[in-house]
Amino acid sequence: MNARNPIPLLARYPSLSSLPRVTLGTYPTPVVAAPNIAPHLWIKRDDLCAEPLGGNKARALEFLLGGVAAGDDVVTVGSAGSTHALSVAEHGRRLGARVFAGRWRQEMNDAAFAVAGRIDATAEEAPVFRSPVGAYAWAMGRRMRGARWIAAGGSTPLGVLGHVNAGLELVAQIDAGLLPMPRYVVAPLGTGGTIAGIALAFSMASCPITVVGARVVPRIVARAARVRRLADQTAALIERHGGTRVPRVRDAMVAVAHETFGGAYGRETPDGRAAAERARMAAGITVDATYSAKALAHAVKLAQDAVTLFWLTFDARALLPALTRVS
């Protein structure tokens, strides 16, 4: 989109156009009905949003990588099979930057092993430490040498702007009659940026939708209060640039499905496996066990009785080997 046809966020708040931003994706992403998976289920195909890798992280990186130029260094952190780390590596490399990713051990599944291998092949350096402490300490060294810092998950107010835009994009699709107004929107809940941004967009547009985060990380990280705080910080960022009051996310607008966690980050669940197989057989859609399968399983339950949109944040191309290796 350009100045004549800006993204929904900039159309609503033109003053945000002063923020550095790089266009990584093609929008809007499709919404499709999925009655073969669940009676009232719709899917937002954010896996299709960008090249060479889509998914929700690309939206945040449009702001987080704004102003990055060829030859710059970028550093981030994440788990061993982090799709965030992979997205930073893929899109940073696309801009000509060198990407460094400090990682920590996690419980691995097939998808995590595939993503980890692709990170190894794409990032400049991507060591795996015993714990997050080691990864953050290593990343701090890179930051002190001038690397651009991208927080874990991209979940800072600046990154959340990309997810606010995503939520406003969905509102426009609802207004255009492309799908009915959902009662629920379900997405994986990790560091919270996606849920916070979508909920803030719905608050801006006065949409009576509950955003449900399917928890995939420990409760200390994935909490409704933390999501609302991140949404508030993002609203404050918009207000600082535009001088216009932004409505806040109310408590009832965000819910957390704690039962989806499964006991450990990256641990598969029976419900997730069943939902993944159902999506593959009924719609030809691949979801990952760490994030999307758990969220899809919860969306399927809700969609038995109410219109529910599952936000597909995972691009199955992450499971493919990298075409080339960074030298």
Domains of the chain with CATH codes: 8-55+155-318 (3.40.50.1100), 58-153 (3.40.50.1100)
- Average pLDDT score, the chain: 95
Q: How confident is the model at residue 322 (pLDDT cuts 50, 70, 90)?
A: confident
Return the closest-CA partner of residue 308 out of 39, 29, 36, 28.
Answer: 39
User: In this predicted model, what pLDDT tens digit does every residue of 285-300 receive, in sequence order?
Assistant: 999 999 999 999 999 9
pTM reported for the whole predicted model = 0.95
Instruction: Give yes or no for residue 130 having a pLDDT over 70.
Output: yes
Task: Give me the amino acid identity at 264.
Answer: A
Q: How confident is the model at residue 4 (pLDDT cuts 50, 70, 90)?
A: low
Q: Looking up tokens 């990186």, which residue turns up? A: 61
The CA distance from 101 to 325, in Å, is 15
pLDDT at 242: 82
User: In this predicted model, what pLDDT tens digit does every residue of 157-168 receive, in sequence order?
Assistant: 999 999 999 999
pLDDT at 326: 42
Instruction: Give yes or no for residue 2 having a pLDDT over 60.
Output: no
pLDDT at 155: 97
Q: What is the mean pLDDT of residues 64-69?
A: 97
Q: What percent of the chain is predicted at pLDDT more than 70? A: 97
Instruction: Give yes or no for residue 67 having a pLDDT over 90.
Output: yes
User: In this predicted model, what pLDDT tens digit does every residue of 11-56 receive, in sequence order?
Assistant: 999 999 999 999 999 999 999 999 999 999 999 999 999 999 999 9
